[in-house]
Amino acid sequence: QPRQPLLPNTPASCLGIMGGGQLGRMFAQAAQAMGYQVAVLEPEAGCPAAQVTGQHIQAGYENHPGLMALAKLSKAVTTEFENVPAESLKLLAQTSFVAPAAACVSIAQDRLAEKHFFTRCGATTHVYPAPHWGIANQDDVASAREDLLPGILKTVRMGYDGKGQVRVRDRAELAAAFAGMNGQVCVLEKMLPLAYEVSVLVARGVDGEAAVYPIAENVHRDGILFTTIAPSTHVSAEVASKAQAAALHIVAEMGYVGVLCIEFFVLKDGSLVVNEMAPRPHNSGHYTIDACITSQFEQQVRALAQLPLGDARQHSPAAMLNILGDVWYEGDTDTMREPAWDQVLAIPGAHLHLYGKAEARRARKMGHVTFVATTMAEAQANLGKACAIIG
């Protein structure tokens, strides 16, 4: 399909976004840098994206008049969160160019659909998801194969940051965990021996052109992304190119348009397992703002506006630290203070990004800081210094 670019800096060049969190804010900032107007649909007043956009439609994600208003303003619309109602994207697609499409987002919203899709892709990519079994009722608990235990029970929908997951050692624990899920459909995954967790960002345009970023290595704490280093220092060149090839196949197979992030596990025996995908820019790709020729957000703008994709190569090793609300608190107490940003910014190569969230709550993503350096060792050492200051 040929591109029909929506050129920047014209009266008509407004890009719409579903969701007003930090991903929407950084998308808007990238769009504005190129001369686009941005309109955001988000129910919450004063959200991170609305603080920086000219048009805030304060409405729910399924609010019909709100969606109509967004479509009227925006020739092209994207989403910043994966649980955007697919029906809303379909409605917007009647009048605006929508990327990613509802059909792609629907796969990523359902862990079982996602695993079926990945399994199908495995015939080409030779990368498969973890052994798993759908659990919709107690019969499924009874029929789960013994070798899936110990495992992790995950809700099929709406899980994120480790929420909606229970680790189970045996069938009795599985039955109890499923009973605690209030009837939600779940998937049981075999607990795998992880060596590392990595992610691959990939972008694809309507014309089928694609760009893949280097492999990033992620460390989670309490289910939330803690640090990302890119390029990964542990993964072999062979595993890295296998993951990148899998990512390129996955976007092509879906006919995906926009930025997509795929999480993989590298097991202790060196094998690669595909975990899940997010149909949008991703926290593990924030390093691209400061360390790549084209950031993931600019890439999303380009894909949405049907412009040529940018160069995804990385120019500097990078280490990113997520900043959670916890750093505003003195230790385990309820006493709050502003973190010493001046000291963090005194560290060489520091790029601070704060999302403008008024209230710092524990486990809430408030910002991130990326360290770029000439060597990864230096970037990581500088990240360590930041941890000592704000950690």
Instruction: State which of positions 1-20 bind ligand ADP (CB under 6 A).
Output: none
Contacts 24+ apart (CB under 8 A), 142-148: 142/171, 144/171, 144/174, 144/188, 147/190, 148/188, 148/189, 148/190
- For the bound state, the minimum distance from the C-beta of residue 108 to ligand ADP, rounded and expressed in Å, comes to 10
Instruction: Give buried/exposed letters for 227-239 (b at 16+ CB in 10 A, else e).
Output: bbbbbbeebeeeb
Based on CB atoms, which residue is closest to ligand ADP, 269 or 334? 269
Which class for 30: exposed (0-12), middle (13-18), buried (19 or more C-beta within 10 A)?
buried
CA 131 to chain centre: 23
Amino acid at the residue 140 = D
Instruction: Tell me how far, at minimum, the Cβ of 159 lies from Mg ion, in Å.
Output: 8
- Comparing CB distances to Mg ion, the nearer of 42 and 263 is 263
- Residue in 159, 258, 281, 285 binding ligand ADP, rule: CB under 6 A: 159
Of 8-16, 34-42, 46-54, 257-265, the window that binds Mg ion (rule: CB under 5 A) is 257-265
Strand ranges, E, within 9-84 = 14-18, 37-41, 55-57, 76-79
* 128 contact, one of Mg ion, ligand ADP, none, CB 5-8 Å limit per kind: none
Stretch that binds ligand ADP, among 83-91, 158-166, 307-315, 327-335 (CB under 6 A): 158-166
* Binding to ligand ADP, residues 292-331 (CB under 6 A): none
Give residues with Cβ within 8 angstroms of 346, minimum separation 6.
none
- Backbone torsions φ then ψ of 346, nearest 5 degrees: -80, -15
Contact of residue 189 among Mg ion, ligand ADP, none (CB under 5-8 Å per partner type): ligand ADP
Give the per-residue contact string, 351-390, with ligand ADP (x = CB under 6 A; - = no).
----------------------------------------
Candidates 159-167, 170-178, 248-256, 340-348: pick the segment binding ligand ADP (CB under 6 A): 159-167
Q: Closer to ligand ADP at the Cβ: 9 or 182?
A: 182
Q: Are 108 and 142 in contact (CB under 8 A)?
A: no
Distance CA 341, CA 20 (A): 25
Stretch that binds Mg ion, among 260-268, 341-349, 356-364, 366-374 (CB under 5 A): 260-268
Please state, in angstroms and rounded to a whole number, the distance separating the CA atoms of residues 114 and 132: 12
Token output for 2: 């040929």
Say whether residue 189 binds ligand ADP (CB under 6 A): yes
Peptide bond into 100 cis (omega under 30): yes
Please name which of 118, 124, 130 lies closest in space to residue 154, comparing C-alpha atoms.
Answer: 130
For residue 197, state whether it binds ligand ADP (rule: CB under 6 A): yes
Among 276, 300, 372, 382, interactor with ligand ADP by CB under 6 A = 276
Task: Fill in the amino acid letter for 353.
Answer: H
- Residue 65 has a CB neighbour count (10 Å cut-off) of 9
Binding region for ligand ADP (CB under 6 A) out of 2-10, 187-195, 209-217, 360-368: 187-195
Q: Which is nearer to Mg ion, 56 or 132 (CB)?
A: 132
The residue among 249, 184, 229 whose CA lies nearest residue 383 is 229
Query: For ligand ADP, which is the closer residue by CB, 92 or 273?
Result: 273
Q: Which does 161 bind (CB under 5 to 8 A by kind): Mg ion, ligand ADP, none?
A: ligand ADP
Contact pick of 194, 219, 336, 377 for ligand ADP (by CB under 6 A): 194
Q: Which of residues 117-146 bind ligand ADP (CB under 6 A)?
A: 130
Binding site for Mg ion (CB under 5 A): 263
Binding site for ligand ADP (CB under 6 A): 130, 152, 159-162, 189-192, 194, 197, 220, 223, 263, 275-276
